[in-house]
Structure 1
Amino acid sequence: MTADPFYKQSTLPEAASFEKGMTLPEMVGPYKIEGLLSKGSMSLLYLGIHPETKQTLAIKVLSPQFIDHQEMVNQFIQEAEIIGLTDHPNIVKLFGQGRWEGGLYIAMEFIQGISLRQFIIQQSLSLRRSLDIVLQVSYALFHLHTHGVVHRDLKPENIIITENGQVKVIDFGIAQLHEEEKKTRPHEEFGILGTPDYMSPEQKENPQKVSYSSDIYSLGIITYELIIGKLSYGVVHLSLLPKQLRKIVEKTIALSQEARYHDIVDVIADITNYLRSGAIDKDKPGSDQWKELLELVQKTEQILTPACAPEWPSLEIGIAKIKGAQEFGSYYDLFSFSNTTYGFIFFESTSSDVDGGFYGAVLRGIIRTLFETTPPTSGISCLDLVQKINHILLKDPMKQRFRLALLLLDSWNNRLSYISCGMGTLFLAHQESQEIRILNSQNPVLGAHNSIDFFETTDNWEIGDTLIMYSADALNPSVFSSIISENLSVSPQRGADTILKKVTSSLISPSEKKTKTLFNIQRIA
C-alpha cells in the first residue's frame, strides 16, 4: 500500500512505513531522530529535534545507494548550498548540513501545513486571497532570482500554506544557479526534469536552457489554477479569467521568452497595481464577498491563537490542532502568570457558524483582561475564574453560551486544578508509575445559568509528569490511554502530533468535523 500524496494529508506529520531491513537512526549529525516522514527515490526525510532549541526540524539524508555516486553527492550538497543562500520568510530555512555515519544530511525548517495543491482541490478562495498567495510566491522568487537561483520545479506541491496562512516555497532538489556551467546533471540521467504541466516550452525542450522567466511561466500556470479554482492539467483557457487580470496571466505564460515577463519585479508591480486600482472590485464574482468574509474570520482566528508553543523554564509543551471544515469560534490560549504558575485554556462558542468566530474573539478579550487584572497565584483554583467568566457572560448583551476547559498548574506547590464546562478531557501520566488517569470535572456550558455550583478537580503534579489536555471528549478512554502510553518517550511536540493523528483516525467518525486541539505538557523542573 502506497502512502497518500502529500496534498491529501492533514497538516499533522505522519510517520512513513519502513521497508524490510531499514532501521531508524537514533541521531543524524547533532539531531535526535523521532520518525521517518517520507522516502523518495533519492533521499529520506526524517523528523528531528534541534539539540539546543528542541525545535522540530526536517532532516533530509541522501539515500545510501547514492553515497558513491559523485554527481548525486555534488547535487545534494548544492541543494543545501542553494537553500543556504536564501533567508526569506517565504522560503524554507536551512539549519545545518554535513556528514554523518550514514552519509550526507540537510537540516531544514519543519513546515506544518498543507500544499497549495490541496488548497486548489479542496478550497474555494476569493480572488484577493488567491492573488495574495501569488504575491507571496513572487516575493520568494524575487529573493531566489536576486541570489542567482532558478527553482526549475515550481508547482503547487512545492508550495506549502502554513497553519497561519503564510506561504513557503520548498524542494530545491533540481534548482540551479543561473550562471552555472550548462552540463548534464544527475537528474537528467534519471529523467527527473521537472513537472510537465508547469514547465515552460524552453525547459521541456532543454532543461539546461532555463532562465528566471522559466520560473515566471510556472508561476503563471499556478496563478491561473488559483483563480479558476481547479487544476489545469496542462490545459489553459484564458477566457475564463477576469479581463483586467487576463493580460497579466497571459504575459506570464507566453510561449515565447521574448514576449514573457523577464523579471519577477514586473509581475509583482502589475499585480500590486491591479489590486490598488480598484479593478479587482469590478472583476471579482459576487460570491467573493462571502468568501472574503470567511477568510477574514479565519485570519482573525489565526492571529488570536498562539502560532507555536511557548518556551517556559519548567515545562516542555507540544500543541497539535486539526481544523474542522467551515467551523468557527474555536480558540485556545496559554498563560504564564509567574515562573511557577501557568494556565491552559480551550473555549468555543456553541455556535459554529461565522458569528461564532466573532463571539469567540470577544470571549478571548474577556479572558485575557480577567487574567491580567486578577492573575491566579499560589493556591490556584479554577472555580473563581470560571465563576467570574460565567457572571460576565450572563450580563453581556451578546447572550452567547460557550464551552470551556481550564487547567492551572502550580509548580511551587506541585498542584494542578482542572475544570471542564461542556468540553475537554485531561489525562495525567505520573513519571514513577506510568499509570495514566483521566481527571474528570464535568460542568454545564458557560453563559447558561446564574445559580450553579461549579466543580473542579485537583491533583498532585510532580517533576517528570505528563499531562494530555484534549479539547473534545475521549470517546474510548482505554484506547486513548494506550495511544498516550506509546508516545510518552518522544518529544512533546512529536507526541502531540502523533496522539492527535491516531486519535482522530481511530476514534473519530469521518462525519465528525469539529476542530480538535491537544496540549502535551511535560514538567521538566
Structure 2
Amino acid sequence: MSTAPVRYVLGGRFDLVEVISEGGTSTVYRAIDRIGLWAREQSPEVAVKVVQPNGKMRQKLVQLLHREARLLRDFVHQNLVRIYDSDYDGKYHYLVMELLNGRSLAHILADRPGQPLSPSVSFHIVRAVGQGLAHMHSLGIVHGDLKPENIFMTSTGEVKILDFGTALMPNASPRHDRATALLDQIGLLTPAYASPQMLRGEPRAESDDVFSLAVVAYLALTGTHPYARLPADEALKANLTPAVPPTISPAQWRVLASGLALNRRDRIETIGDFVQRLARPHWFYRWCGQRMPLSQN
C-alpha cells in the first residue's frame, strides 16, 4: 500500500487536490468535499490527514487518529482548528479538518532565524493560543504537544492550535490510561517543548501546557529557545537558566520565568493566569508599582 495519491477520492467523497504537508506518520492534503460542492457551500474545501500506510507503528497511529476525532470533534473555539470527523474507506484511515490558509509559526520563525517577533505580535500569539488552551482545559483536556509547528497564523490574522493527537485528560496515570501508554510507545512528544514531568511520564497537568506555551513565548520574543533546544529534563540536570529577554519588563519576565520553571511546584498552574499576567502592558506594572509592591503582581 502506498501513500494516497493526489486525485484519489477518499471514501467516495473527498477529492485529494494537493499535499499541504508530509511528516513521518501522516500526510495532510487539501481536498474538495463533494457533498459540500453538490450542496453549493461557499467553501467546500477541507484539510484531510491520512495516516502513513507503512511502518511498525501504523496500527497505533490509526488508533490515535480516530481517538483524536472522537475526543475533539465537538470542540468549537475560534483558536482551535475544527475537526469534523474521521473515517476509513477500506484502504486509508483519515481525519477531516477545517482548511486554513496561512503559515505555521514554525515557518514564520524559520524565515527569520535567530530574530524575534515584535512584542505586540508575540503577545497576540500567546493570548490567542492561551484562549484555545484554556477552552481545552475547561473541558478536561491537556494538549500535550504545543510547539511552533502546531500553531497556525491565518492570512486574516487569526491564530489556531493544530494537531491534537497527544491530547489527554489531566492527571491520567500512565499505568491506567491506555492513551497515555500508547503515546509513550509511539514517542510523539517533542522533547524541546515538553515539560520534565511529561518526559518522565508523570500524570498530565494543565501546567504542562503552561510550560510549552512559555517556551513558545520565549522563542517568539527572543528568536532563541530558552534552554538551547535541550530536552527539559536535561536542562534541569544541567541547571540551565534562560537569559532575560530585553523587550519585556522585569515584572513580565517574572511571569515568563515562572511559566518556564522546570520544577512543577515553581510553575504557574493555569494558562489563564499565565496569559493574563504576561500580556499586561508595561504601563499596568508602572501603575501598580505606584500603589503596591511589585512583588505582589
TM-score by length of 2: 0.77
- Name which one, 1 or 2, has greater alpha-carbon Rg: 1
Counterpart check, 1:191 vs 2:173: no
Task: Specify the SS of the correspondent of 1:240.
Answer: coil
Deviates more, 1:23-32 or 1:157-166: 23-32
Q: Separation in 1 of the partners of 2:4 and 2:46? A: 21
Higher RCO structure (Cα 8 Å, ≥6 apart) = 2
> Who is 1:254 aligned against?
261
| Structure 2 match to 1:114 | 103
- When the two chains are superposed, the root-mean-square deviation of aligned CA atoms in Å is 2.9
Taking the TM superposition and a 5 Å limit, the aligned residue runs for 1:258-297 are: 258-274=265-281, 277=284, 279=286
Which whole-Å deviations, capped at 9, do the CAs of 1:418-437 have from their partners, x for residues lacking one? xxxxxxxxxxxxxxxxxxxx
Q: Is the 8 A contact 1:238 1:246 kept in 2?
A: no
1:163-242 alignment to 2 at 5 Å?
163-178=155-170, 180=172, 181-183=176-178, 185-192=181-188, 194-206=189-201, 208-232=202-226, 233-234=228-229, 237-241=242-246, 242=249
Mapping 1:341-360, distance limit 5 Å: none
Name the aligned partner's letter for residue 198 of structure 1.
Y
70 and 21 in structure 1: CA distance in 2 versus 1, 3 angstrom threshold: closer
* Deviation of 1:107 (Å): 0.7
- 1:77 equivalent to 2:66? Answer yes
Is the aligned partner of 1:33 residue 2:16? yes
Q: Are 1:55 and 2:47 an aligned pair?
A: no
Superimposed CA distance per residue, residues 55-85 of structure 1 (whole angstroms, 9 cap, x where no aligned partner):
3211112233479965433211111123314
Whether the 8 Å CA contact 2:116–2:222 is kept in 1: the answer is no
Q: CA deviation at 1:231?
A: 4.0
Query: SS of 2:269's equivalent?
Result: coil
CA distance 1:118–1:104, change in 2 (3 Å): closer
- Indicate conservation of the 8 Å contact 1:161/1:168, yes or no: yes
Change (3 A) 1:202 1:24: same
What pairs with 1:327-338 in structure 2 (closer than 5 Å)? none
How far off its partner does 1:95 sit? 2.5
CA displacement at 1:98 relative to structure 2: 1.8
Amino acid at match of 2:271: I
State the Cα deviation string for residues 9-57 of structure 1 (Å, max 9, x = none). xxxxxxxxxx988644531132122123333322222221122124321
Structure 2 residue corresponding to 1:130, chosen from 122, 125, 141: 122
One-letter amino acid matched to 2:9: M
Deviation at 1:169, TM superposition (A): 0.7
C-alpha distance in 2 between matches for 1:138 and 1:162: 17
Q: Closer, same or farther in 2 for the Cα pair 1:78/1:279, shift >3 Å? A: farther
Q: How does 1:307-346 map to 2 (within 5 A)?
A: none
Q: What is the distance in 1 between the residues matched to 2:51 and 2:2?
A: 18
- In the other structure, the counterpart of 1:483 is none
Distance 1:271 1:34, change over 3 A: same
More strand by share: 1
The question of whether the paired residues in 2 share the 8 Å contact of 1:120 and 1:231 is answered with no
Write the distance in 1 (CA, Å) between the matches of 2:54 and 2:119.
Answer: 46
**Is the alpha carbon distance of 1:171 and 1:275 closer, same or farther for their aligned partners in structure 2, counting shifts above 3 Å?**
farther
Q: Secondary structure at the match of 2:166?
A: coil
Deviations 1:239-262 (A, max 9, x none): 334312111101111122122111
Q: What number of residue pairs does the alignment pair up?
A: 261
